[in-house]
Amino acid sequence: MQGLKRVSFVLLGMSRTSSCQNGRWRSKILECGLQMKMDSQRCCTAVNKSSECSVDDRLKNPRVASLLEVTVGEGIRPIDILDAVEKSPELLNKSPLQWENCFKELKSYGFTHRDCFIMISQYPDLITLVEGNGFRVSMTQWINCQLGYDNVLDLLAYCPHYLSISGSELSGRIPLLYSLGRNGRNVTRLLKNCPSLLYGKWKDIEAKLYYVENVMKVDTKEENLSKCYMFNRTLDEIQTRHVFLQRFVSWFYHYSVYSNK
C-alpha cells in the first residue's frame, strides 16, 4: 500500500510540475519501484510464516488429529483434510467413527478412496445421509434409472448433492433427459455440465430448445447436446448472444465486400 502511495505521489508531481527534468523523474520512479518490490517481498515472507504457523496450530487441534488418524489410513493427505475443514468447518463436528463408517459404505458401492473424500468434502451432509440409510435408498433409485452403473458412480462422485434428490423427482425427470441425451452416458454428461436440467423447470428447458431448433436452426437430433452448456444460460442470454453473432456476421460480410472493391 505504501508503495502505491509513493507511485501516486510521483505521478501527481509529474502532472503538476512539467518543468522537472526527465532524468530526475526517472530516478524517482525507479526508486519507488525498488521500494515496492522490497515491500512486496516482506509481505510475502510474513504471509508464508503466518501460513506455516496456522497449519501447525490446526494440526494440534485434537479433533483434527483424531480425524487424521482415520483419513490417513484411507490415503488422504493431511493438507487436503485441513483444506476441506477450512472450507466446511462442520466436518469437524463428525466423529472419526462416523467418517470411517461413511468411507466404508461408499466404498462398498465401488467409489474410490479419493471419490469418497471429495464427496464428503463437497457434501458434508452425506455422513448423516449414510447414517440414516438415506444413501442406500438414493443409490437404489439412481441405479434404477438405467443410466449404467459406472456412469452413475462417475456422476455422483462429481455431483454428490444429487443424492438428495427424491425418487419421484428422478423418475419424472430422467426419462425427459433421455430425449436430449439419447443414452445413459450422454444423460450423465448433461447432468454434470448442467445441474439446472435436474433442478430447473422443464418448461424453461423446452423454451430454450424451441429457440435453438426453430430460430437458430440447429438440428438437436444430430448435435450432441451433452457437450454444450447452453442449459446453464437463461433464454435471454442465448437470444442476446445469437443476435450479437448475427449482427457481427452481417457487418463482417459487408465490410469484406466493400473493402475488396
Name, in order, each residue with C-beta under 8 angstroms of 168's C-beta and a sequence gap of 6 or more. none
| The pLDDT of residue 232 is above 70 | yes
Question: Does the residue 5 lie in any domain?
Answer: yes
Whole-angstrom Cα distance, residue 105 to residue 149?
16
Which pLDDT belongs to residue 164?
93
Which pLDDT belongs to residue 214?
92
More confident site: 85 or 17: 85
Question: Does the residue 217 lie in any domain?
Answer: no
Hey, what amino acid is at 89? P
Question: Does the residue 34 lie in any domain?
Answer: yes
Q: Is the dihedral of CA 74, 87, 119, 166 positive or negative?
A: positive
Tens of pLDDT along 93-108? 999 999 999 999 999 9
Question: Does the residue 66 lie in any domain?
Answer: no
Across 139-160, average pLDDT: 96
Across 25-39, average pLDDT: 49
Question: Does the residue 31 lie in any domain?
Answer: yes
69: closest CA among 100, 107, 115?
A: 100
Name, in order, each residue with C-beta under 8 angstroms of 40's C-beta and a sequence gap of 6 or more. 3
Name, in order, each residue with C-beta under 8 angstroms of 137's C-beta and a sequence gap of 6 or more. 167
Tens of pLDDT along 134-149? 999 999 999 999 999 9
Question: pLDDT band at residue 20, thresholds of 50, 70 and 90?
Answer: very low
Query: Measured in Å, how far apart are the chain's first and last C-alpha atoms?
Result: 56
Domain holding 24, by residue range, is 1-59
Which pLDDT belongs to residue 11?
35
Considering the chain, what percentage of its residues have pLDDT values greater than 90? 49
Which of the residue ranges 21-25, 63-67, 108-112, 244-248 has the most confident prediction, judged by mean pLDDT?
108-112
Question: Does the residue 173 lie in any domain?
Answer: no
Question: Does the residue 240 lie in any domain?
Answer: no
| The pLDDT of residue 16 is above 80 | no
Which pLDDT belongs to residue 22?
45
Question: Does the residue 52 lie in any domain?
Answer: yes
Which of the residue ranges 5-19, 82-96, 149-163 has the most confident prediction, judged by mean pLDDT?
149-163
CA torsion angle for 80, 82, 88, 90 (degrees, to 10)? 120
Name, in order, each residue with C-beta under 8 angstroms of 257's C-beta and a sequence gap of 6 or more. none
Which pLDDT belongs to residue 182?
86
Task: Report, in angstroms and rounded to the nearest whole number, the Rg of the chain calculated over CA atoms.
Answer: 28
H helix intervals, the chain: 2-16, 22-59, 62-71, 78-87, 96-108, 113-122, 126-131, 134-143, 149-158, 167-181, 184-193, 196-199, 202-214, 235-259
* Cell matching residue 202: 422443464
Across 239-260, average pLDDT: 83
Nearest 5 degrees, angle CA 194-CA 156-CA 142?
95
| The pLDDT of residue 153 is above 60 | yes
Give me the number of domains the chain comprises.
1
Hey, what amino acid is at 116? C
